[in-house]
Amino acid sequence: MAANPTTRVPGGAEAARHGLDAESLQRDVLDNLVSLQARYPAIATPHDWYMALSYSVRDRLLLRWVDTVQRYAAADVRVACYLSAEFLIGPQLGNNLLNLGIEAQARAAMLALGQDLDTVIALEEEPGLGNGGLGRLAACYLDSLATLQMPALGYGIRYEFGIFRQAIRDGWQVEETDKWLQKGNPWEIVRPDVAYYVNFGGHTQSATDAEGRFRVRWTAANQVKGVACDTPVPGYRVETCNTLRLWKSEAVESFDLADFNVGDYYGAVQEKVISETLSKVLYPNDEPEMGKRLRLAQQYFFVSCSLQDMLRLLELKGEPIERFADMFVAQLNDTHPSIAVAELMRLLLDERGLQWEQAWDITRRTLAYTNHTLLPEALETWGLPLFRSLLPRPLEIIYEINRRFLDEVRQRHPGDESRVARMSLIDESGDRRIRMAHLATVGSHAVNGVAALHSSLLRETVLRDFAELWPERFHNVTNGVTPRRFLALCNPGLARLLDETVGEGWIADLTRLRGLEAHADDAAFQRRWRAIKHANKEVLAQHIQSATGVVVDPRALFDIQVKRIHEYKRQHLNALYMVALYQRLRREPQLALAPRCFVFGGKAAPGYAMAKLIIRLINGIAEVVNNDPAMEGRLKVIFFPNFNVKSAHHIYPAADLSEQISTAGKEASGTGNMKFMMNGALTIGTLDGANVEIREEAGAENFFLFGLRAQDVERLQREGYRPADHVAAHDELREALDLIASGHFSRGESEVFRPLVENLMQWDHFLALADYADYAACQARVDAAWQDPAGWTRMSILNTARSGKFSSDRAIREYGDRIWSLAPIG
Ligand code: GPW
């Protein structure tokens, strides 16, 4: 990576060799089939064709990739480093074809080779290196950073096993290992030469060095090597191709060898097993943390490798350490990488010999922190004994940061020791624990929430004392999603109509969709709009049939809730309403209700019993409803197994109604809500997260609002909430709960759902019963609106037209302007 701009890779000859036309693609696919897969066409498997095409596409990215890296190395610009324990990037081939603008050429090339492009694309195993919203957000941001041509790097972990594959057996979730690398990964470049060592355990010693300065030496019990695995991230129709750098753990040879020499062969192998375990598997918990030692080791591992890499890149640029914060900014995706505060300090103090004040100034100017949750059970803390045994030196640094910080608090608020205890980096109330959100806040120059409501609540609750101390550091950046993957790629039918109506510019400037508003009442345009939606619903119906065996009618209202299964997201509120509908239709078969198909999708954390029971309930209802002849043509219930990025491509474009029904104040933002909106679904939702802004943009008349507001929720819980009162006051709700408790949806076994029903009746922590009546009333308004196709279609068009704000391009521009001081370099 030379800093000399004159050594830039020449474009001409290389570009010609890897032409973007169908003929050269076809030639390369054939070449790669032989040279990389060792196959000839007559015996090539579909997967061989996938590999051969993917390598050919990767070749066409390499030039841009190398060129981009050289540009960043040479330019005097700040690079944004996005540190995230998760990158849920999804399948790559289709997206890379789209961004390169060679989908048609690839289709022609494959056709000439007797292959269907869509079939080949569908074979890709997706890298499921994330749990849900947080990991997918990181992937959308990488797409926008590249598209906006901003110098950026993603840093994370190359998990050998991503999020588990969800199977459904007898209605229950069963987890299967995600062996996504089994058949190889054509997108990845492994760089054995880009590797760093990371310390674990052991002890520290302080001494004075040759120049008389106080220095600390950390003698580790264990070292792990992190090796860089790079994935290209091409922007949409631009020359920029950024890098996602994921770290894979390896054993350090010298450590093994030492043991081997004293004859402990098994000990040496054991060591290797532990170091290689580090990047083995993604923890499948979304939101609540489990405080596992290996998880902390993963976090420190990837953060340390990433910071060491940034320091090396600074050297390659020929810049002095004093300029680190001018050349790099590191965005912490929640607290998972927040150990960066201590690790950057350690690298600057212990490895570079800087003084505390200077190291602290660099650290704070470099780091920025995004908070993604207010749920107390999701705020990361680590017990001191575990932390000390794994990371003794970082712990000392945290103590010193805390000492200096609390001095500052005491100076500002003399005598206010309760404030000091509240703000401390160490929670001393029970067993002593490190509060990672406090560490991240103290060590960052900017802190942001992910939707307007969430950012306000963050300032008023979880980080209130900090917002009072440093109001200028607090920001909001409402989340966004990439319109490339979640509109252009997944909904080609609609994309063509958008091109024709507002011009192709919408893909890189989503606000241009406003141009659709003029056509919202045009009957011919509405017919085309409905035909596209109908075709998308036919495609989803096919996928539903092959995944579940159930046949659904694309003419029904597709009412969809896809997201992780969580009590606060309230899939069970939706389930209660389905049971009530089922009861109504059984009693009154002539009832004039629109035919509905309820679709659910989402994984439950393997240890989260209540979430797994909610899946069992939905499947139980599905079994009864779908097999009841009286429900034919009226009601269908689907649990779509293994919801992931790939199946999301078929689901969002087929939705009529988007369920965003979390308890107000609990969902930080939501991003699925935005994907549905772009694809013309109407939202039924609470005033929570980004729903608030979706309703503002769409117009209140184009959004189905119900439920308690965040302040009502807070007040009700403070004053004492009694779920039983709501059950007593609502016959339909009581009957639904009774029917569930009776075993009607569990093959007569009345014990199965008892924990769920009892939990609701006694506690109902997320106020599902309090919101039930209003939800059911709102669903009746949905039903009425659906009966008027012109009115519904108008609302659908207006939702897409007004979704421009929710492009991740807008979000990334805001990060660039307000938090990173970083501009595109074309
Ligand atoms: F707990 N989110 C997530 F805040 O998907 F860390 N996983 C997580 O572990 C956390 C948050 C964490 C989600 C939020 O629940 C969702 O509201 C938000 O849209 C998304 O992060 C992206 O900001």
Answer yes or no: do 204 and 282 share one domain: yes
Copy the structure tokens of residue 42. 């007559």
The residue segments making up the domain with residue 691 are: 491-721+761-806
309 CB under 6 A from ligand 1? no
pLDDT at 259: 62
669 CB under 6 A from ligand 1? yes
Answer yes or no: do 53 and 96 share one domain: yes
Copy the structure tokens of residue 746. 């569990």
Statement: residue 262 has pLDDT above 90: no
pLDDT at 14: 47
- Amino acid present at 777: A
Answer yes or no: do 5 and 62 share one domain: yes
Residue 239 burial (10 A CB sphere; 0-12, 13-18, 19+): middle
User: Domains in the chain: how many in total?
Assistant: 3
In this prediction, residues 549-573 reach a mean pLDDT of: 98
Greater confidence (488 vs 76) lies with 488
In this prediction, residues 442-463 reach a mean pLDDT of: 98
Atom 16 in ligand 1: residue holding the nearest Cα: 670
688 CB under 6 A from ligand 1? no
Q: Is residue 733 one of the residues assigned to a domain?
A: no
Q: Is residue 730 one of the residues assigned to a domain?
A: no
* Confidence bin at 17 (pLDDT 50/70/90): low
Q: Is residue 276 one of the residues assigned to a domain?
A: yes
Query: Which pairing describes strands 635-640 and 657-660: parallel, antiparallel, or unpaired?
Result: unpaired
Atom 1 in ligand 1: residue holding the nearest Cα: 287
In this prediction, residues 58-86 reach a mean pLDDT of: 94
287 CB under 6 A from ligand 1? yes
C-alpha span between 336 and 436 (Å, rounded): 8
pLDDT at 256: 56
Express as a percent the part of the chain with pLDDT over 70: 95
Statement: residue 175 has pLDDT above 70: yes
C-alpha span between 324 and 573 (Å, rounded): 50
* Confidence bin at 478 (pLDDT 50/70/90): very high
pLDDT at 257: 54
Greater confidence (3 vs 817) lies with 817
C-alpha span between 136 and 111 (Å, rounded): 32
Q: What is the CATH number of the domain that holds 163?
A: 3.40.50.2000
Answer yes or no: do 433 and 547 share one domain: no
In this prediction, residues 247-261 reach a mean pLDDT of: 75
C-alpha span between 603 and 163 (Å, rounded): 9
Q: Is residue 39 one of the residues assigned to a domain?
A: yes
C-alpha span between 438 and 642 (Å, rounded): 35
Statement: residue 391 has pLDDT above 50: yes
* Confidence bin at 1 (pLDDT 50/70/90): very low
Answer yes or no: do 155 and 285 share one domain: yes
Copy the structure tokens of residue 446. 């900017």
Answer yes or no: do 36 and 80 share one domain: no
Bridge partners (DSSP) listed for residue 232: 243
Cα of 807 vs its chain's centroid, Å:
15
pLDDT per position as a tens digit, 304-327: 999 999 999 999 999 999 999 999
Express as a percent the part of the chain with pLDDT over 90: 91
Statement: residue 5 has pLDDT above 50: no
- Taking residue 131's Cβ as centre, other Cβ atoms within 10 Å add up to 22
C-alpha span between 10 and 91 (Å, rounded): 30
Which ligand 1 atom lies nearest to the CA of residue 334? Answer: 6
Contact (CB, 8 A) for 558 and 537: yes
Q: Is residue 198 one of the residues assigned to a domain?
A: yes
Contact (CB, 8 A) for 675 and 701: no
Torsion of CA 186, 187, 190, 196, to 10 degrees: -150
Q: How far is the CA of 137 from the centre of ligand 1 (A)?
A: 9
Q: How far is the CA of 808 from the centre of ligand 1 (A)?
A: 16
* Confidence bin at 261 (pLDDT 50/70/90): low
Bridge partners (DSSP) listed for residue 682: 657
Mean pLDDT rounded to a whole number for the chain: 95
286 CB under 6 A from ligand 1? yes
Contact residues for 79 (Cβ-Cβ < 8 A; gap 6+): 72, 151, 152, 153, 313, 327, 328, 329
Q: Is residue 732 one of the residues assigned to a domain?
A: no
Bridge partners (DSSP) listed for residue 447: 369, 474
Answer yes or no: do 469 and 498 share one domain: no
Answer yes or no: do 85 and 195 share one domain: yes
Statement: residue 559 has pLDDT above 50: yes
Answer yes or no: do 432 and 500 share one domain: no
Q: Is residue 727 one of the residues assigned to a domain?
A: no
Q: ipTM of this model?
A: 0.98
Answer yes or no: do 345 and 330 share one domain: yes
* Residues recognised as catalytic: 372, 563-564, 569, 671, 675
198 φ, ψ to 5°?
A: -125, 130
Bridge partners (DSSP) listed for residue 560: 599, 658
Answer yes or no: do 585 and 684 share one domain: yes
Query: Which pairing describes strands 635-640 and 596-601: parallel, antiparallel, or unpaired?
Result: parallel
- Taking residue 343's Cβ as centre, other Cβ atoms within 10 Å add up to 25
Q: How far is the CA of 89 from the centre of ligand 1 (A)?
A: 16
Answer yes or no: do 773 and 647 share one domain: yes
Q: Is residue 474 one of the residues assigned to a domain?
A: yes
Copy the structure tokens of residue 762. 């006694």
Statement: residue 263 has pLDDT above 90: no
* Confidence bin at 3 (pLDDT 50/70/90): very low
Statement: residue 4 has pLDDT above 60: no
